[in-house]
Chains A and B, each alone.
Chain A
């Protein structure tokens, strides 16, 4: 813990209190949500909703997947509080949903390049975890790697720093670095089941999660991230996850991809990895009497290797956005092994 305190103190000392607050340079991240309604006192209220219809051999069902209000408040120009409350699957109805704080953070800006953040932090591990909102994504289901290697949505209790630099007129560089409670024991069997407590660490060792991203020009973003630390109750076994990501946008064409690998000491399957690549093309702007609308066709190739098992999935989708913040998606998924999951997904999503 001493090392952690020294690290934080050193980073704070590097900052000077002269600049207004900025945001982590991740387009679509926490500070880029389109908060649409403002109450009094500088607090903004917004949110997003998604609803899905699955049609495959395992399930033919509607799912009220997410209803997520969020709050953003400027205590001052340089002190911000942001939170997102997640109602999944209708809340805790029949015991198969959940209500939780997806994130809740207090940010204090000492410098454009160094803001202190504490709270339930959206872990900067991979790109998808930071910009996972359904209205932003062109396909309904999240990539397999973003479920099994980086268990999105991953938010952790902790503190740390983030900042943004502008090395040239065209470029931007950002970092986030936090000390967090980290994963828990059950990560040995499945990383998704091993997301840690927001209240109490299961061991005395802290984990460190960080991401560095660089955009040489608008439209191209590159990122590298890590999450390292002990995860078992005794604090002896380490869990390390490393991820790289890239996205590229030119005109109507979007491409993105992400690779992540996990090393889990003491687990039966101690090495796991996965990746996805996705391409999307926007066409027929201004259709169906919506002046800001666009159609998009998207395709994604997904693969995960969990040691004892692996899976490959191909998804093709067509969606219509009457506004940039609202989308109707129709996807078809083809699994390599889990044939019964092959099928259609129709979904709606919107910010509000």
Chain B
């Protein structure tokens, strides 16, 4: 899992946390992202110092782990359909868990919210908002006021997802490069 390093300065109260809303399990999210897939292989991407430096160069901070699980969707003929990663980013107080799926051109094919833990801003879970990530790749800004339409009142959640999608695209591209035959 991608794990964001940023944490709230103080522990939130249960009221601040709000209800924990689980919309999809990881398996359900992967199957929805790739309905034709019959198998998902897991590739553990080592986040080396070099990779961390490249991440920082792209202005993406807040990754504390040393590896990322990348899922490779395969159809009945064992042909890869795409890659996916499940990540977490702090919204306002607590992490939003989400899945980013890309096609073999490394363009986002879908984004889904698995778990939403904040008391406000859950509108980001709807495809009405999430569909605007489709077709984005690592060269897109993926930022409010540029290519992502904000949801007023859910700005922190939107920003968190923007960072999460950019981070996921970075790791999925890195995994894709590693897995390509020389």
Interface residues of A (CB under 8 A from B): 27-28, 31-35, 38, 40-42, 74, 77, 131, 136, 166, 169-172, 217-219, 249-252, 282, 285, 292, 294, 324-325
Contacts of A292 in B (CB 8 A): 159
Contacts A38-B16, A169-B128, A218-B132; is A282 near B153 (CB within 8 Å)?
no
Task: State whether A136 touches B152 (Cβ < 8 A).
Answer: yes
- Beta-carbon contact of A324 and B153 below 8 Å: no
- On chain A, the residues within 8 Å of B79 by CB distance are none
Is A38 a contact of B13 with CB atoms below 8 Å? yes
| From B19, B145, B149, B156, residue with most partner A Cβ within 10 Å | B145
B139 within 8 A of A: no
Question: Does B127 sit at the interface, judged by CB under 8 A?
Answer: yes
Cβ-defined contact, B128 with A171, below 8 A: yes
Closest B residue to A77 by CB, please name it.
Answer: B19
Given contacts A40-B13, A292-B159, contact A172 B143 (CB under 8 A): no
B152 lies within 8 A of A27 (CB): yes
Which of A40, A217, A282 meets B145, CB within 8 Å? Answer: A282
Q: Is the CB of A251 within 8 A of B132?
A: no
B159–A249 touching, CB < 8 Å: no
**Do B151 and A27 have beta carbons less than 8 Å apart?**
yes
A324 and B155 contact, CB distance less than 8 A: yes
B125 located at the interface, meaning its Cβ lies under 8 Å from any Cβ of chain A in the complex:
no
Contact of B120 among A35, A41, A136, A285 (CB under 8 A): A35
Q: Is the interface of B mostly helix, strand, loop or mixed?
A: loop
A218 to B126, CA, bound (A): 11
Decide if A285 touches B145 in the complex (CB within 8 Å): yes
- Complex Cα distance, B149 from A170, in Å, reads 13
State whether the Cβ of B129 lies closer than 8 Å to any Cβ in chain A: yes
The interface residues of chain A lying within 8 Å CB-to-CB of B145 are 251-252, 282, 285, 294
Mostly, the A contact residues are: loop
Distance (whole angstroms) from the CB of A290 to the closest CB of chain B: 13
Query: Which of A32, A41, A252 is close to B152, meaning CB atoms less than 8 Å apart?
Result: A32
Q: Which B residues have a C-beta under 8 Å from some C-beta of A?
A: 13, 15-16, 19, 119-120, 126-129, 131-132, 143-147, 149-156, 159
Cross-chain contact B147 with A251 (CB below 8 angstroms): yes
Question: For residue B144, which residues in chain A have a CB less than 8 angstroms away from its CB?
Answer: 324
Q: Verify A27–B153 contact, CB threshold 8 A.
A: yes
Q: Separation in Å of the A254 CB from the closest CB of chain B?
A: 9
Q: List 16 A-B contacts (CB under 8 A).
A: A27-B151, A32-B152, A32-B154, A34-B153, A34-B155, A38-B16, A40-B13, A41-B15, A77-B19, A170-B127, A170-B128, A218-B132, A218-B149, A292-B159, A294-B145, A324-B150
Complex Cα distance, B133 from A122, in Å, reads 34
Q: Which residues of A sit under 8 angstroms from B151, Cβ to Cβ?
A: 27, 32, 218
The complex places the Cα of A166 from the Cα of B123 at a distance, in Å, of 12
Complex CA–CA separation, A33 to B13 (angstroms): 20
Name the distance in Å between B152's Cβ and chain A's nearest Cβ: 4
State A314–B20 Cα separation when bound (angstroms): 48
Q: Which residue of B lies closest to A250 (CB)?
A: B149
Contacts of B19 in A (CB 8 A): 77
A40 to B14, CA, bound (A): 9
Given A42, A166, A217, A285, which contacts B15 in the complex, CB threshold below 8 Å?
Answer: A42
Q: Within the complex, which residue of B126, B129, B149 is in contact with A249, where a contact is CB–CB below 8 Å? A: B149
Cβ of A32 and Cβ of B129 under 8 Å apart? no
A28-B153, A32-B154, A249-B149 are known; give 10 further A-B pairs, CB within 8 A.
A28-B152, A34-B153, A38-B119, A131-B152, A166-B128, A217-B128, A218-B129, A218-B149, A251-B145, A324-B155
A28, B119: Cα distance in complex, Å: 17
Q: With A and B bound together, what is the CA distance between A94 and B154 in angstroms?
A: 39
- The complex places the Cα of A166 from the Cα of B145 at a distance, in Å, of 25
- Tell whether, in the assembled complex, residue A31 and residue B147 are in contact, meaning their CB atoms are under 8 Å apart: no
Shortest distance from the beta carbon of B118 to any chain A beta carbon, whole Å: 11
Q: Which of A28, A41, A251 neighbours the largest number of chain B CB atoms within 10 Å of its CB? A: A251
* CA–CA, A324 and B120, complex, Å: 17
Assembly CA distance A282 to B131 (angstroms) = 22
A344 CB, nearest partner CB in chain B, Å: 25
Partner of A285, one of B126, B143, B149, B155: B143
Report chain A residues within 8 Å CB of B149: 218-219, 249-250
Q: Which interface residue of B119, B127, B149, B154 has the most chain A CB atoms within 10 A? A: B149
Question: Which among B13, B120, B128 is the interface contact of A172 at CB below 8 angstroms?
Answer: B128
With a cutoff of 8 Å between Cβ atoms, the chain B residues found around residue A136 in the complex are 152
Instruction: Please determine whether B15 and A169 come into contact, CB atoms closer than 8 angstroms.
Output: no
Q: Are B155 and A252 in contact (CB under 8 A)?
A: no
Is there contact, CB below 8 Å, between B146 and A285?
Answer: yes
Residues of B within 8 A of A285 (CB): 143, 145-146
Q: Are A33 and B153 in contact (CB under 8 A)?
A: yes
Give A254's nearest chain B residue, CB to CB: B145
* Cα–Cα, bound, A205→B23 (Å): 47
Chain A residue at minimal CB-CB distance from B158: A324
For residue B155, give the distance in angstroms from its CB to the closest CB of chain A. Answer: 5
